[in-house]
Structure 1
Amino acid sequence: MKITIMSEVFHQALGDVVRAVSTRTPMPVLTGVHLVAKEEGLTLVGSDSDLIITRELPAEAGKLDVEQPGAIVLPARYLAEIVKKLSGPIHLQLIDDTTADIRCGEIKTKLKGFPSDDYPKLPVMEESETLQLEASRWMEMLKQTVFAVSKSEAKPVLTGVHISMGEGRLISVATDSHRLAYRETKIDQHIDRACIVPYQAIGELIKLWDGKTEVVEVAMNEHHIHCRLGETSLYSRLIDGKYPNVSGLIPEGSETLVKMETKQLLKGVDRACLFAGEWKNHNVYITIHDGRMKLSSAATQLGNIEESQRIMEIEGTEEMKMTLDGKYLMEALRSVKEETVTLQFGGIMKPVVIRPEGNATHLQLISPVRAY
């Protein structure tokens, strides 16, 4: 293996793949980055066995020149630090199957690693079952649901986002049993698949998207999901288990339906949370009376805060009181892109359904908090 690569190109690619590398692994080879040079370019792979990130760099004059193909696994931490501190063309050449010679100007480095054959192979995906989707739409769906996953390992299936394809729809759902986030979109391809993706993988995928790649390719098999964004790919091991049927959790009717301005309500809830930290569930009290919504919170030793906002429209019972988790309510409202939002109240101890006005493909559900 013998290549010449510009330091900024190498540094950026390493920055992507090392995100998947763990220093705490029973397999020493996984502490490294797998470098595979072929005539057409260089592939970098980082993995912790559950999450894999790859980056493909095409051979290009002035950026990457592959003089001799080959492969090696080099320690991720040291390789990234070395490249970070270099400027200009970097010449990397193998001395043997475990040692690389790295040169840049007058700087010479020898770095020991592992044989390429010791590195795990990438999962094999069914390319015929690959979904192609507008990347911005896919990322928006994930951002609007991933925050609602459970952070507790008591129910592993709830620590992931449930992704399903079928009947011309792509659906993303997350719940921690106290709240639920749901988002769907139409797709042209007829694919019938479902899986539970760990929230850590979803978070890394969102970070990897540069905002420029227009199309994402998504493929699933029994154990993995593969998302390709241009030259960057992410593979994630799936969570085993059966995801709960959430359709029955969403109430159809309501006692009170109000329409509010999204940003104004979000700012009000944010202010109300100022004194909500004393409570385990960040209690924010909501009172609907005389065409207005009052938001308030109180801390025994500190004080309280309350404000009143005008309700744009109201249907049903015009007086109501409820306590919600202010943190959950803020996260739900932040996921709404539309200017106005509807809140559907079914009763004092029934879940609140939050929907962007005019968008039936997105909803948030929050269970009320017992305030005593």
Structure 2
Amino acid sequence: MEFFIERELFLQAIQDVSKAVSSRTMNPILSGIKITAESENITLLATNSDLTIQKVIPVCNKQSHRLHIVCSGSTVVSAKYLLQIVKRLPGDIHIKIDHLNKIKILSNGIDANLNGFDFNDFPIPPKLDDSQEIRIPNSVFKRMVKQTLFAVSRSDTRPVLTGVHLSLENGRFSCTATNSHRLAFSRGTVDTKESLSCVVPFSALNEFNRLAEVDNEILKLYISKHHIIFRFNSITLFSRLIEGNYPNVESLILTEARTILTLNKEMLQQGIDRASLFGSVIENNKVLLEVTRDLKLRICSTSTVFGEIEEVQSIINLQGESELSVAIDGNFLMDALKTIEEEVVQLSYSGSMKPLLLQAVDSDLHFHLISPVRTA
């Protein structure tokens, strides 16, 4: 195998796939990147068994000299040392692999050599089933992931809650995440008659967010019993699914609210941020929300050790009862507010110790449920 490639192009591809390299493994080959050169492209592949990332670099315009393939072949090379060497090279790169799997990296008079692994021992990624392809705009799915991913559980006590539940039925595509104390939901539409239900690990969707650009590209999804595959731009991301039944969260969604507050999102977000200054040093980051007698929103938090903070904000509109006093985790509310792009939001309250519903005004595309914190 032999090829010439622009340094920045090669470095970006290495960085894209390196997140799937196994840092701790009993199998040394999983610490490497598989590089395959063919007549029209080179492919970089890395895996840690649960997550696999593949990046294809096409020759495209042979006049540009960004990539020129001399002869085809495959090898597996240490991801750590390949990345560090390429970072330190001053110019474009010439790579040659001999029959003994010795990898020579040349650039502007610099000659580096690495020992390769036998590519035949590298795991083969799951195969794509084109008949099960689901297409959705990249920007739509990225929005849905952004609005839900943060709410997954970080505890392994219930593994199924450490991922995002994807559901598709009658063209309605939704993402749901919960850690039992808060829930985030987002949906979009897909032009397909396929139905599916699966739980995707946090790590896979986090990498999708990192790698996918918000553009007009179409994301292609392929879902089997045990795997999900994302294909976008020149990248294919493979991930194992989390096994288990995701809880039915429909019963948690408010049908009737006792009180609905319409608020300026930016003002509320700033107020919660200020209140969390003291809320963060006490259990559950407790912040109190209360409607005052003159129909304003009081936001406060108290620490017996460090002090307290309080402010009053205007309410744009109040529907229903004016009596509202609830303690909530300020961090959870801040996380949810950050995902809402609209300028005005609604907080719906349906009674003591029942979850608060947060959403943009006149929008059911996404919402958040946050359980109150006990004050006693």
> Does residue 191 of structure 2 align to residue 197 of structure 1?
no
Give 1:1-372 correspondences, 5 Å limit: 1-59=1-59, 60-61=61-62, 62-212=65-215, 214-289=217-292, 290-372=294-376
Instruction: Decide whether aligned partners of structure 1 residues 213 and 86 sit closer, same or farther in structure 2, where only a CA change above 3 A counts.
Output: farther
Q: For 2:305, give the aligned amino acid.
A: Q
Residues 108-133 of structure 1: CA distance to partner in whole angstroms, max 9, x if unpaired?
11110211111111101221111111
Q: Structure 1 residue 214: deviation in Å?
A: 2.1
C-alpha separation in 1, matches of 2:281 and 2:114:
52
Q: Secondary structure at the match of 1:349?
A: coil
Q: Secondary structure at the match of 2:19?
A: helix
Q: Secondary structure at the match of 2:374?
A: coil
Sequence identity (%): 38
List alignment gaps of at least 5 residues for structure 2. none
C-alpha separation in 1, matches of 2:47 and 2:189:
32
Tell me how many residue pairs correspond in the alignment. 372
Q: Structure 1 residue 79: deviation in Å?
A: 0.4
Q: For 1:39, give the aligned amino acid.
A: S
Contact 1:8 1:87 in 2 (8 A): no
Contact 2:5 2:92 in 1 (8 A): yes
Q: For 2:27, give the aligned amino acid.
A: M
Contact 1:150 1:158 in 2 (8 A): yes
Contact 2:346 2:360 in 1 (8 A): yes
Q: Secondary structure at the match of 2:238?
A: strand
C-alpha separation in 2, matches of 1:140 and 1:280:
31
Q: For 2:332, give the aligned amino acid.
A: Y
Q: Secondary structure at the match of 1:244?
A: coil
Q: Secondary structure at the match of 1:158?
A: helix
Q: Secondary structure at the match of 2:82?
A: helix
List alignment gaps of at least 5 residues for structure 1. none
Q: For 2:359, give the aligned amino acid.
A: R
C-alpha separation in 2, matches of 1:97 and 1:157:
45
TM-score by length of 1: 0.98
C-alpha separation in 1, matches of 2:74 and 2:100:
8
C-alpha separation in 2, matches of 1:130 and 1:97:
40
TM-score by length of 2: 0.97
